[in-house]
Amino acid sequence: MELPLSSGAFSIARAAVLLVSVCMAGRMLFLNAYRDDAYTHRAFANSNRATEVAAPRGIIYDRFGTPLVEDVPDFALQIRVSEARAHPEIMTAIAAAVPRALSMEEIWKRADADAERGDIVTIARGLTLTEVAQIRVLRSETVLIENTYSRRYPYGESFAHILGYTGSASAADLLERSNLSRNDIVGKNGLELAYDDALRGTRGESVAYRDAREEVVERKIIAEPIAGEALVTTIDAEFQQFLYDR
């Protein structure tokens, strides 16, 4: 004899079907959202490129607040190593415009020695406006002009033994200090070296947004550079200059 199913059995069956439907819908929404997010990040990486923004070094002062160093706005020439390898004609044009730039051999050597530190290498500093114009005429994404700073010492040799000097981070610097970028300017001697971590500051980051034709439509700072800390010394600049001039 067949017995009719109870209403409770139908309720359980309906609940099971509903639960399965909800799980399937949730899974589809998750996959679509994940896929859209992945595509968004991939499109961003392909069409927009991040570059570092130089931070000014901290100023060194004497005991009375007189600056002993200055940060002067400057231009640095950089290349994307991965693209430069594929475009030797660009490197030839760079060598003609800025003869003092690093040779290709030196660039590859420096890039291969610390590839984990990024794809961008600084190959010349202190560009003139004429050199900047010649580089920009190339209209190549392989080449970058960085707005940076150079260090100037208004008291010249009279403070050289105290202040020291700065320069591009060398292979030895990068080996000894893991927090450096290959494009950093670091202290090499004197107070510039002794207090380099505080004076150096933190680089920022900018992104160039491009349209479907790969034309730059907007540049935006996504991380502001942080200037280095000021250093106040016990030096009396006027008295030090007096002793030097005697």
pLDDT band, residue 10 (cuts 50/70/90): very low
pLDDT band, residue 41 (cuts 50/70/90): very low
> How far, CA to CA in Å, does 45 sit from each of 31, 171, 210, 230?
21, 29, 11, 37
Bridge partners of 53, per DSSP, are 204
pLDDT band, residue 215 (cuts 50/70/90): low
Q: How far is the C-alpha of 126 from the C-alpha of 47, rounded, in Å?
A: 30
pLDDT band, residue 11 (cuts 50/70/90): low
pLDDT band, residue 125 (cuts 50/70/90): very high
Tokens 């690093």 correspond to 102
pLDDT band, residue 60 (cuts 50/70/90): very high
The per-residue pLDDT for 191 is: 97
The per-residue pLDDT for 45 is: 43
**Does the pLDDT value for residue 185 go beyond 80?**
yes
What's the pTM value of the predicted model, to 2 decimals?
Answer: 0.73
**Does the pLDDT value for residue 143 go beyond 80?**
yes
The per-residue pLDDT for 226 is: 94
**Does the pLDDT value for residue 40 go beyond 60?**
no
Residue-wise pLDDT tens digits, 71-120: 999 999 999 888 888 888 999 999 999 999 988 888 888 777 666 767 88
Contact 217, 44 (CB under 8 A): no
The per-residue pLDDT for 134 is: 94
The per-residue pLDDT for 160 is: 93
The per-residue pLDDT for 106 is: 85
Which of 104, 147, 115 shows the shortest CA–CA distance to 129? 147
Torsion sign across C-alpha atoms 137, 139, 144, 148: positive
> 9: how many CB neighbours lie within 10 A of its CB?
10
Which of 172, 166, 169 shows the shortest CA–CA distance to 149? 166
**Does the pLDDT value for residue 239 go beyond 50?**
yes
Mean of pLDDT values over 45-72: 86
